[in-house]
Structure 1
């Protein structure tokens, strides 16, 4: 009896019928079985579970530039954010069926419920219209028994439990994935259909109210194909869960009644790249698998899959500088085979190979094993889609820019260092910033290593499939990245809720180089700033605005209009800050201190950014005005201590306040007449946080002595009140700074008449420079400064000054 005759008896009902190939989505064993069954049956048409709107896209699967994993993306034309995916991997049975049909000149069609209904159906809930099979997680009814719940979550779990297995994945590997394609090629489908039929007799549709409607549509499509090609010439590839329903006898009138009145939206479809990581269950995919990388290996390995897999693992570990030899691979293979035999498995599975890798190659450590799981078991494979695939104009422009700038999308996260002085890097930066404005978060800015200049940027790049939806969604703003980002920035400026939002948007427009959007943003900014009287809002807005001025030199952007607005904003802050700092509680005082710090940094940048002969007065005037404001804040008794202390410290750092005057002000505050809590707040403002206050106390003996004398004189009942504040202040210092301060206090400060010279009375310090010790560091300083050898003698005196 031939395989086809046996199929006639076992799979098809008497009188003929379609070849129903029930599969597990993304199962390599199912994919091999489907290929073997199609080769044996040679149908005239192949019907596949999927949205029929994608029929026109099926020929692209044969394109040489199409590389799975890929997905069909459907989105509502009027609301691109409402979308759904149908993913396919190389080892997906549906993908194998599509490729078989194309290679044999056989029509292939999708027969699931159209996306136009799927998207409309999901309008009131989150849509994840991905193929559902035995591993799907259908939405059940509110009241279910415990058994119903188990089947609803994972029907394979019920089958594995009935077979005496506690792990559905291992059971499926044993009965399907490790099974060869020899013998009766139709037997796996016969067994699966019987199993799913038994489950559906007990549990119906498993509580998933969409399945009856989807299955009614599928039955109608199968009947139409049978009428066109013949009853025995139709093959159907679908989730095994649906096979009993497709086999069931229903009238066409009953099926059409289920489809009557379904909601509809206008939908568009295309192919998009997908990733192995998104196929994993951890990615939130209901029909996902735990180990797409492992399944891909099983499907692609022609023979000896365990040996090939462990060799691949060894290669990865060697790349990470771990010592793994051929002997390790041989021993790991033997151990995996031994474990499989002990556990009664036909072949070593992922569990056995993982245990072998842990024991032999990782020396029992789970740290390198986690790398193997992330890179190989799951994997970061990103598919590719040909340029001929339909796409919104914005996607086409983005693709052209990516190719021109040699910025290839990748699933694995990587860092990208950009030097904005180079034109190609500057264009890459502009592209990433424009995409960020559009909500397409391909790149995330990161802190640059080794340089703090404005000419360098660091990005963390990672392309996720969902970004294709964001691109389609952003297509409403324009047909190119530049025009879309410009339109989006203008709209965001008009709808911004706060002044800080607008200044932040102005900064992003400069980074993205949107010259047409910047005037609109600046006009809105000027109007909003003129109406906002809240000093806190103005202080929040100023830093971002001033930071934007720093990018003019590197990006060749005209920032004169920005400088004028920033200068006006700064002047309003100067006028309103002193009265705004009066009569604040502790929390408000801390918040205002942060505003003072931000404004101080902004004023420094603003002074550096304003250039030109006329602007020179502006530059000097801005700094002078700010210093006068700090003087006012440092002397007013109505200003909280934390702000007064901060003002004194900022003036001292800028050289606008002599150390003697700073010591005098500290002495007044720390006198017995000042409440201990207010004195502690003043100290926190002066030396607190990570602003270098600890280093200041290390090198200024008088200030340390004042703090020490005040602290030892605080009454016991008040000490417990100020201790938390002081602890918060000094705990922010580096351990080395705290240790040095403790040593200085233990030894005791120098004499008050030493004139503040560091080292008075403190071991290890001298009153004068030790020239012999300074000479010892000159070679190192010359090397660091890049001085030529013939200049050494001429520069020695200067270097000694630097060392001092």
Structure 2
């Protein structure tokens, strides 16, 4: 309101605003009637690596209100700070200078630090010390002298609530002059990078002010909107940048765009250095000032907190709100303030509405202080091509309503909807899926895929959608990859394919291409996988790659993908896995779990694609794995279970193999390990074969004590995966074998362990085979 009053008093013909000079053409978009702050000007480099610079604007921002006033009063409005191409280049040089600075001796002690603590510091560390102690402590000292907890509360009470005519402008100028006197001399002595950076900016801004005067604007009809620190320098025009100096400024080609912003990103909670604690609160204050009802702000704020508490299930009465307002006013009076500031309102809310407990009102305070608002720009307003394309797709696919900071779940059914008339409507969810997968590939944090709960994840997808300014920035950065979402995603996928080195990775990229609906890249990925598979002998990797191909071939028609070219590749991978199965099964137990998973995947493929793959070869290799004694016993047991499950082994053959593997002469770890592998599949089949349990019982009875301890390690691991009802069935079988009632066996198996028994089991966990 102070600024609007000053604008109305001066009636300037030129309104000059601190901001990138090359963004002046964007002002007409910022003041567009459909624009709804918070919004931001975003500059980004036109080449990789991408660097960005942001200038966010809230509704109450002086810069935004000055633009609007100028548009409404036909005044000229322009930005006067360094152009973005210079600003980003200078920032890069500043960062580089800080990295290259070498340690140097500090000539003077740090403020308020004893002499004996002086040591070798880098200039960057000196600058940080100076910044923290000279500026940070100075701001804090001002707040302390004023009796405030922090500088923000001091500023609000001393400046924002001061509604006296001309008081704000005079106070700001005095504040700027005194701050520069206190800090500028030390900055020059220490030759801080920040001082040089600000000096260049101020010289350029002075030049732009001089340009406005030369264009015919009277000095007393020019109003400059800038940060308080720069006010004194621009008022006196200490140095005006010359043409020669301008030519020496570094540049890096940049592009500009506008983007919606959020109050969370505008707040200091997000880490934004120039942010404040409560952007939405200050919007409420701004609105009350416009209405001339600033004294009603405490009622509005505290009643909003109470309303949010009620919505979350915590009831607070009107009387408590009234008492909270009274308390806030009392706290303000103790600070000689006319109206409560944010700290007064928060304390009153915690005391009266939270009953002294901050946790009760913390969420409500965050909601009222920061807010969930996200800005809006009119369609097509100063957007990059990829932003325009994404907005078009959002509208076309009816996803625009999900462009919110509140996380929302979206469930997609990828199957054709035959109840609608148009093709676009019939495949709406499928096209949504293509877009969301492409955004995920581009690293745009808008959509997160959840597990669908289906084993094969065929036709249903569950997404969590949440928009954020970070996502908007990521979209803008993707402009360098392509002018549309599809082109940019295709570029990223092709880059990944060119860098791909394993068949497992290539298979995942085939799945990605299918999920993104990219036919050309799908073929490129197929060729990449085929090239890498020629010399690969790792069955675990081959099985993983084959699983991805199998899923696409089975469900590719849902995504309208032609999977015919993938079938020969699946056949090739499956054959290689068969040929190298036994070689890969000569492994330690540490690798056996991964191998079992790979064998399971290959067996599933042989069942699902028995017409395409060589099923007879697979069963032959499983029999080799089962019968050979020089391979991992656990894998041999697992192969036996698969063959029994598929009825390749008859009862006599199965009994013979069990007898051979569980004979008294077989080492304990081999026999028990083989049973562990056998027990991983089809438990009901195992439980139906009483002869197997008789052989297992005889095997255990024949073991010596030390061998029994060794076997117990494997048997505990095997039985730990059995469900409670399966263990009860085992109890019944053992009861029959041992000639006792099943209930007695179950009671023994399920009763609580004694202390000595618990200790024995704990000792097994630390069992060391090297002791034997």
Counterpart CA distance in 2 for 1:653 and 1:368 is: 58
Aligned residue among 60, 64, 83 for 1:114? 83
Report 1:282-297 matches (<5 A): 282-297=269-284
Measured at CA, do residues 761 and 592 of structure 1 come closer, stay the same or move farther in structure 2, by a change above 3 Å?
closer
Q: Which moved more, 1:400-409 or 1:466-475?
A: 466-475
How much has 1:513 moved relative to structure 2?
Answer: 1.5
Task: Name the counterpart of 1:272.
Answer: 259
Task: Name the counterpart of 1:593.
Answer: 596
Report 1:523-672 matches (<5 A): 523-582=527-586, 584-604=587-607, 607=608, 610=609, 617-618=611-612, 621-622=614-615, 624-651=616-643, 669=661, 672=664
Counterpart CA distance in 2 for 1:226 and 1:572 is: 80
Task: Name the counterpart of 2:238.
Answer: 250
Q: Summarize deviations over 1:657-690 as a string: whole Å, max 9, x none.
A: 67897787566555554444445544554457xx
**3-state SS in 1 of match to 2:383:** coil
Measured at CA, do residues 142 and 640 of structure 1 come closer, stay the same or move farther in structure 2, by a change above 3 Å?
same
Counterpart CA distance in 2 for 1:659 and 1:364 is: 75
Counterpart CA distance in 2 for 1:667 and 1:330 is: 85
Counterpart CA distance in 2 for 1:370 and 1:692 is: 53
Counterpart CA distance in 2 for 1:724 and 1:288 is: 60
Counterpart CA distance in 2 for 1:715 and 1:363 is: 70
Q: Please state if 1:193 is matched with 2:185.
A: no
Counterpart CA distance in 2 for 1:335 and 1:714 is: 81
Give the TM-score, by structure 2 length. Answer: 0.79
Task: Name the counterpart of 1:54.
Answer: 23
How much has 1:259 moved relative to structure 2?
Answer: 4.6
Counterpart CA distance in 1 for 2:451 and 2:169 is: 58
How much has 1:114 moved relative to structure 2?
Answer: 1.1
Is 1:151–1:157's contact at 8 Å kept on the other side of the alignment? Answer: no
Q: Please state if 1:176 is matched with 2:159.
A: yes
Measured at CA, do residues 379 and 217 of structure 1 come closer, stay the same or move farther in structure 2, by a change above 3 Å?
same
Counterpart CA distance in 1 for 2:430 and 2:511 is: 16
Q: Summarize deviations over 1:263-315 as a string: whole Å, max 9, x none.
A: 21222211111111211234332212222232333223443222222332333
How much has 1:88 moved relative to structure 2?
Answer: 1.0
How much has 1:214 moved relative to structure 2?
Answer: 1.6
**3-state SS in 1 of match to 2:590:** helix
Measured at CA, do residues 326 and 625 of structure 1 come closer, stay the same or move farther in structure 2, by a change above 3 Å?
farther
Q: Please state if 1:314 is matched with 2:306.
A: yes
Measured at CA, do residues 161 and 603 of structure 1 come closer, stay the same or move farther in structure 2, by a change above 3 Å?
farther
Counterpart CA distance in 1 for 2:496 and 2:132 is: 46
Unaligned runs of 5+ in 2: 97-121, 418-426, 748-772
Counterpart CA distance in 2 for 1:369 and 1:440 is: 34
Is 1:226–1:232's contact at 8 Å kept on the other side of the alignment? Answer: no
Counterpart CA distance in 2 for 1:699 and 1:42 is: 95
Measured at CA, do residues 320 and 256 of structure 1 come closer, stay the same or move farther in structure 2, by a change above 3 Å?
same
Counterpart CA distance in 2 for 1:660 and 1:453 is: 40
Give the TM-score, by structure 1 length. Answer: 0.76
Measured at CA, do residues 334 and 732 of structure 1 come closer, stay the same or move farther in structure 2, by a change above 3 Å?
farther
Aligned residues between the structures: 700
Aligned residue among 434, 438, 447 for 1:434? 438
Q: Please state if 1:480 is matched with 2:484.
A: yes
Counterpart CA distance in 2 for 1:399 and 1:162 is: 51
Q: Summarize deviations over 1:92-146 as a string: whole Å, max 9, x none.
A: 222122222222211111111111112333457889xxxxxxxxxxx97332584
Is 2:162–2:168's contact at 8 Å kept on the other side of the alignment? Answer: no
Q: Which moved more, 1:625-634 or 1:714-723?
A: 714-723
Task: Name the counterpart of 2:468.
Answer: 464
Measured at CA, do residues 567 and 176 of structure 1 come closer, stay the same or move farther in structure 2, by a change above 3 Å?
farther
Counterpart CA distance in 2 for 1:703 and 1:443 is: 52
Is 2:408–2:466's contact at 8 Å kept on the other side of the alignment? Answer: yes
Task: Name the counterpart of 2:297.
Answer: 305
Counterpart CA distance in 1 for 2:645 and 2:366 is: 49
Counterpart CA distance in 2 for 1:111 and 1:702 is: 91
Measured at CA, do residues 745 and 145 of structure 1 come closer, stay the same or move farther in structure 2, by a change above 3 Å?
same
Counterpart CA distance in 1 for 2:534 and 2:303 is: 68
How much has 1:63 moved relative to structure 2?
Answer: 1.1
Task: Name the counterpart of 2:107.
Answer: none
Counterpart CA distance in 1 for 2:326 and 2:585 is: 75
How much has 1:376 moved relative to structure 2?
Answer: 3.5
Q: Summarize deviations over 1:32-58 as a string: whole Å, max 9, x none.
A: 332232223322211111111100110
Measured at CA, do residues 719 and 261 of structure 1 come closer, stay the same or move farther in structure 2, by a change above 3 Å?
farther
Task: Name the counterpart of 1:262.
Answer: 249
Task: Name the counterpart of 1:72.
Answer: 41
Q: Please state if 1:411 is matched with 2:405.
A: yes
Unaligned runs of 5+ in 1: 1-31, 128-138, 611-615, 764-804
How much has 1:459 moved relative to structure 2?
Answer: 0.9
Q: Summarize deviations over 1:604-663 as a string: whole Å, max 9, x none.
A: 5xx1xx5xxxxx6336x44x5434433332332222233234334444555656789778
Measured at CA, do residues 659 and 221 of structure 1 come closer, stay the same or move farther in structure 2, by a change above 3 Å?
farther
How much has 1:519 moved relative to structure 2?
Answer: 2.1
Measured at CA, do residues 299 and 530 of structure 1 come closer, stay the same or move farther in structure 2, by a change above 3 Å?
same
**3-state SS in 1 of match to 2:635:** helix
Counterpart CA distance in 2 for 1:503 and 1:83 is: 35
Counterpart CA distance in 1 for 2:202 and 2:707 is: 78
